[in-house]
Structure 1
Amino acid sequence: MRFLAVLTVRNEGAFLLEWLAHHRAVGFTDFLVFSNDCRDGTDAMLDRLAEMGWLTHVRNDGPYDKRGIQFTALKQAERLDIVHSADWLLPLDIDEFVNIHTGDHTLLSLLAALPEATAITLTWRLFGNADIRSYTDSTVTETFTRCAPVAMFWPWRSAMFKTLYRNDRTYEKLGVHRPRAPNLDKLPNARWFDGEGRELDDPFKTRRLFSNYGRSNYKLVQLNHYPLGAMESYVLKADRGRAVHSDHMLGMEYWVDRNFNTDTDDSIARTHPLRAPILADLHADPRLADLHRAAVGWRHARFFKLMEQEPYRALYARLLMTPASKPINHATATTLSQFAMKGRT
C-alpha cells in the first residue's frame, strides 16, 4: 500500500525534518515536495533528502497559474509517475499534521476502522499561539498544545478539511482541500466518511470544503493545524506570502480567525515514540543537520531584518497587543450565518 503526501514549501527548512519524521511514523510511504524561491536552504535540504531516497523534490519556479503557486504545483504533480502509482493521496501543508486516534495511530489502522471508505475528510483542529512570542528550534507538536474547542460554531474555516482519498481514478485532479474533476461514471461508487466515522452525503463528493459545525469530527482522526506558531514565526509567514493567494499579505484577520487557545490537546504525543528514531536518523546526517541549523539561523536573522520595516514591525506590535480569540457560541453564530445568507441573496 503506497500512501503519498504532496507538500509545497518555501523558507520552511526549520520545520521540515519534524514534519517528515511524523508523517513517516504515521504511515506515509512516499513524499512529493515542491519548493519555490527558497532563501533559507529548504531546497538544498530537499535535494539532500532526495539523494537519500527519502522523497521526490521538484522545483516549482514558475510561471504560476492564476490560482496561485500551490495550484501550479498540484497541476505538475498530476503528470508524475509517483502520483499515478500511489494507492492513497493527501495534499498537505507544512503546518498540518495528521493525528490518528484509532489503533496504533497509523494510516493502516485508520483504513481498518473505515474499510469501505474511498475518501476520508481530515478536519482541522486549530492550534493557537498560546502567547508564545519568540521562535525557538523546538518541535511544533510539543510546543503548541493549546487549541480550539472540539465543537466550533464559527468561523467556517475552523471546520475546513483536507481529503485522504483512494487513487482509483474517481477523481482526475488533485486539489488543495479535496480532489477535483470527478469521473461521473465512477462517482456513484465513491464512499466518503468523516473523521468521526460517519458516512457523508453526496455534496461532499463534489463540492464541500468544510465539515458540519458544532460537533466533534475527530473521533478517529483529525488534522492538527498550526497556522500561527510563535509571533516571530507569524511575521516571517507574512513575509513569505500565501501559497494559494500569494498576492494577499497575511494580517491580523488571519490571526484572529485562528488564534484559539481555550482547550489543550496533546494527543499527537502518542506518535512521538514512533517519530523519535526517525527524526534522530535525519538529524544524524551531517549535511541535513548543518542545513537545519542554517535554516534556524536564517529565521532569527530574517525576523530582525523585518523589524527594520514598518509594515512588519507594526504587525508584530499588533500581535503583542491582541489577546487570544474567543470562540463564538451557537446563538451568535446562528445570527452571523443569517446575516451571511441575507447578504448572499
Structure 2
Amino acid sequence: MRITSVTPMKNEAPFLLEWVAYHRMIGVNDMLVFSNDCTDGTNLMLERLDEMGVLRHYPNPSMYLARDKHHLQVIRYINTSERLPRSDWVVSFDVDEFICVNTGKGHLEDLFNAVPDANMIVMNQHNFGCSDIVPFEDALLTRQFQYAWDKEKAYHARLNRRGTKTLTHQSAEAKAWHNHSPVFHGDKLDKVHCVNGSGIRQTEQDFTKDIKSLLHPHFGFDLVQLNHYALRAVETYMLKVDRGNANHADAKDAMAYWRRYDNNDLHDTNIQRMTDDIDTARDELLKDAELKSLHTAAVDVAQRRIAAFKKQPEMQSLLSKIKRYRENHTLAASSA
C-alpha cells in the first residue's frame, strides 16, 4: 500500500527529521517535499534524505515561475502528475502538522481499519499553543508541547470551526487535489464515503470544493487529530516570522497570529506514547554522518539567528507583546 504525502517547505531544517521520522514510522511511505528559498539548510537536508531513499525532494515550481503562493504552485504542479491517482492514499499537509492516530497502536493502518468503509478521512487541526516554553531547543516538538485548544470551545468570533487536511483513497476518484482536500466531479459523488476524525459519516459537505474547515459539531478527534504546532516556542516563533507566510507574502501581523493560536486550554498528551519511538527513528536517520552534520549546522543557524533577532527593535517589541500576552493567559490545569 502506497501512502503519499505532499508538502511544501521553507526553512524548517531544525525540525525536519522529527517530522520525517514520525510520519515514516506511522506509515507514510512516499513523501514528496517541495522546497523554496531555503537559507537554513532545509534544501540540503532534503537532498540528502532523497539520496538516502527516505523521501523525494523537488524544487517548488514557484522558484522557476518567479511567483509567490508557494503552496498553490505545488498543488498546480502535482495535479499534472499521474502519481497521486496511482497511490492508495494521499494527504497534503505541512511540516508543522503531525497526524496523531488515537486508535490501535497509532499507525495509519489502525486508522484505516477503524473506518473500513471510508475512502476520505477529514482530519481536524488540533492547534497547540506555546505551552509556556520560551527558548528554542533541539528537542522533539511532540514531547515539548502539550497544551492545545479545547476540543469543543469556539475560538473564532463567528463560527466554531477547525481547519482540515484530508486522507483520501484512490477509490474516491478525486478530480484534483487541493491544499486541504481533493475536489470531486459532481456526477461521481456517490463514490465518496467521507468520515471525520471521529469516524462519523459526513454528508453535509460540498465535495466539489476544497474543504478547508469543519464546523461544530461536524469536526471530531476520537480516532485521529492533526496536531498543529503553529507557534512552537516563543523564541522559535521569531524564525517563523522572519520566514514569512507561504501563501501571503505581505502578511506581517505577527502578534495577531500569536493571539489566534496561543491558546493552552487543554493538556493533551495523546501523541506522547509515540515519542520514545520517534527518538529511535530520528536517531536512526542521524547515523548518516552527512545528515547529522547538516542537522547540527541547522540548529547552529537557528540559534545564531535567534540571538541576532533579539537585538532587533522590531523583534524586541514583538517579544515584549508576547510576554505581556502570556502573563494574562495561563496554562490549563486539567489533563486530556
Q: TM-score, length-normalised on structure 2?
A: 0.90
Q: CA deviation at 1:84?
A: 3.9
AA at the equivalent of 2:304? A
Residue deviations 1:171-199 (CA, integer Å, cap 9, x gap): 2322111113x222322221110011110
Q: CA deviation at 1:72?
A: 0.5
**1:253-264 to 2 correspondences below 5 Å:** 253-264=256-267
SS in 1 for 2:261: coil
Distance in 2, matches of 1:142 and 1:223, equals 15
Give 1:250 deviation, angstroms. Answer: 4.4
Q: What is residue 42 of structure 1 aligned with on the other side?
A: 42
Bigger mean CA deviation after superposition, 131-140 or 299-308: 299-308
Range 299-308 or range 95-104, more displaced? 299-308
Deviation of 1:280 after TM superposition, in Å, equals: 1.5
Whole-angstrom distance in 2 between the partners of 1:126 and 1:219: 15
Counterparts of 1:194 and 1:224, CA distance in 2: 15
Cα–Cα, structure 1 residues 80 and 275, in superposed 2: closer, same or farther, change >3 Å?
A: farther
SS at match of 2:18: helix
Match of 1:187 among 186, 189, 201: 189
Question: For the Cα contact (< 8 Å) 1:163–1:178, is it kept in 2?
Answer: yes
Check whether the contact 2:186–2:208 (CA below 8 A) recurs between aligned residues: no
Query: Does structure 1 residue 83 correspond to structure 2 residue 84?
Result: yes
User: Matches of residues 53-68 of structure 1 in structure 2 within 5 Å?
Assistant: 53-60=53-60, 61-63=63-65, 68=69
Q: Deviations over 1:177-236 (max 9, x none)?
A: 1113x2223222211100111100142523442222268711111001110011111111
Counterpart check, 1:4 vs 2:4: yes
**Equivalent residue for 1:229, pick from 228, 232, 236:** 232
CA contact (8 A) 1:150 1:215 kept: no
Q: Does 1:172 align with 2:175?
A: yes
SS at match of 2:214: coil
Distance of 1:230 and 1:306 partners within structure 2: 14
In structure 1, the residue matched to 2:19 is 19
| Separation (CA, whole Å) in 1 of partners of 2:206 and 2:223 | 18
Tell me the residue number matched to 1:113. Answer: 114
Q: Distance in 2 between matches of 1:169 and 1:198?
A: 17
Amino acid at match of 1:49: L
Tell me, which stretches of 5 or more residues in structure 1 are unaligned? 328-345
TM-superposed deviation, 1:271:
2.3
Q: Does 1:295 align with 2:298?
A: yes
- For residues 62 and 97 of structure 1, the distance between their equivalents in structure 2, rounded to whole angstroms, comes to 30
Q: Please say if 1:100 is aligned against 2:137.
A: no
* Aligned equivalents of 2:47, 2:271: Cα separation in 1: 29
- Say yes or no: does 1:314 pair with 2:317: yes
Give the structure 1 partner of residue 200 of structure 2: 198
Paired residue type of 1:319: I
C-alpha contact 1:64 1:72 (8 A) present in aligned 2: no
Cα deviation, residue 318, structure 1: 1.1
Q: Answer yes or no: is 1:266 the counterpart of 2:302.
A: no
2:289 corresponds to 1:280: no
Find the aligned partners of 1:289 and 1:157 in 2 and give their Cα distance: 43
SS state at 1:159 partner: strand
In 2, distance between residues paired with 1:169 and 1:193?
Answer: 12
Number of aligned residues: 325
Instruction: Quickly say closer, same or farther: Cα 1:292–1:82, change in 2 above 3 A.
Output: farther
Deviation (angstroms), 1:245: 1.7
Q: Comparing 54-63 with 199-208, which one deviates more in the overlay?
A: 199-208
For residue 33 of structure 2, what is the aligned residue in structure 1? 33
Cα–Cα, structure 1 residues 169 and 214, in superposed 2: closer, same or farther, change >3 Å? closer
Structure 2 unmatched ranges of 5 or more: 332-336
1:74 and 2:58 are equivalent in the alignment: no
Instruction: Report the alpha carbon displacement of residue 294 of structure 1 after superposing the two structures with TM.
Output: 0.8
Query: What is the aligned-residue RMSD (CA, Å)?
Result: 2.1
Distance 2:241 2:160 in 1: 19
Q: Is 162-171 or 261-270 further displaced after alignment?
A: 162-171
Question: 2:39 corresponds to which letter in structure 1?
Answer: R
CA contact (8 A) 2:21 2:282 kept: yes
Question: What is the CA-CA distance between 1:18 and the residue it aligns to?
Answer: 0.2
Post-superposition offset of 1:273:
4.5
User: Residue 260 of structure 1 aligns to a residue in which SS?
Assistant: coil
- After TM superposition, the score normalised by the length of structure 1 is 0.88
